[in-house]
Every structure is written in C-alpha cells, then in structure tokens.
Amino acid sequence: MSAGAALQAAVVSSLADAGLAGVFDGPPARAAYPYAAIDAGAESDWSHKTGSGREVALAVTVWDDQPVRLRSMADAVEQRIAAIEVSGEWQLVSLRFVRRRVIRDVAGPWAAAIDFRARLLAS
C-alpha cells in the first residue's frame, strides 16, 4: 500500500463517526450534506540514507449547504485529523496543518477545504 493510501485510510477511519453523512475517497456523484471528500494522492520523496519515506499532500473538503454548520464540521474534522495514527507499512512522522479556506460554488453548496502536509517513513 502506498503512503498516500495508508494515510487516506487512516483519515477515513477517523472521520467515520464525525457526524458526516459520508466520507468519500473522491467527489461523489450524489451525497447528502454534510459530507467529506478526501484526496491523499500527491506524494513526493522524503527518503533518507537508510530508509524510504514519502511526503503526502492531504486535502480534505467538507461540503454542506449550511455555512454555520459547515464551519463547526470543519473544526471537528480538523481536530480528528490532527489526532490520526497510521498503522501498517507506514509510520506517520509528522502531520502539519497548511491552510483552510471556505468557499462557495455560485450554483451550489459551501465547501471548507482543509490542507495538511504529512511525512511518513516505511516501517
């Protein structure tokens, strides 16, 4: 399993009971609000002399049609992600919050985009 896939699985697991209608590995075709879409596909080398490592860009987008609820859901999601643990082939060395922004699609719902940078080493 890649480092990004291991990180994504840990995030999905941590958000399973966060009050979201669903947690998806990508944008769903249809889903009830609020829901989260996760992308941990951008990986770069973070190896060292004797071991293999990856730096993973983690993007979590929380979608909702109510801006007040969206902000509280985004807070809860951010706190849960900050406390994740990755198990298996990869060890989470650091997880750093990068940015959060709230945007609205003109014809649709509100979105809170939360970005993290994770560094993992192969176990």
> Which DSSP state fits 59?
E
Q: Which fold has domain 3-122?
A: STM4215-like (3.30.2000)
Q: Report domain extents, the chain.
A: 3-122
Chain segment 12-27, per-residue pLDDT in tens = 999 988 899 999 988 8
pLDDT of the residue at 41? 86
**What is the C-alpha separation between 111 and 71, in angstroms, rounded?**
9
The residue that leads in pLDDT, 72 or 107, is: 72
pLDDT of the residue at 94? 97
Helix (H, G, I), strand (E, B) or coil at 121: strand
pLDDT reading at 58 higher than 90: yes
